[in-house]
């Protein structure tokens, strides 16, 4: 969940506010900005998928053990 929040924050900084993330010194423009945002959108989708699978596994484990194993 922390990784997801961090990626959402980075995307907001890049897209909405036009800020530059560390370690860049110059503002990103054009293909550089697009590459950074595309990479972060993919990482965000992967993080959300991992979180969804983890919640599903937890739910299945609780159902199968009748909530005795936490």
Q: How many domains does the chain have?
A: 1
For residue 49, is it within any domain? Answer: yes
For residue 7, is it within any domain? Answer: yes
Domain extent at residue 40: 2-64
For residue 30, is it within any domain? Answer: yes
pLDDT for the residue 69: 63
Which residues, 6+ apart, have CB-to-CB distance to 24 below 8 Å? none
pLDDT for the residue 70: 59
What H or E segment, with its residue span, contains residue 53? helix 31-64
For residue 70, is it within any domain? Answer: no
pLDDT for the residue 5: 92
Q: How many residues does the chain have?
A: 70
For residue 55, is it within any domain? Answer: yes
For residue 69, is it within any domain? Answer: no
Positions of the chain with pLDDT under 70: 22-25, 69-70
| pTM, 2 dp | 0.70
């Amino acid at each position: 969940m922390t990784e997801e929040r961090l990626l959402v924050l980075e995307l907001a900084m890049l897209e909405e506010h036009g800020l530059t993330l560390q370690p860049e010194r110059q503002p990103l423009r054009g293909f550089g900005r697009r590459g950074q945002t595309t990479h972060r959108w993919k990482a965000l989708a992967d993080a959300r998928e991992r979180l969804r699978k983890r919640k599903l596994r937890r739910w299945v484990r609780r159902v199968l053990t009748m909530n005795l194993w936490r």
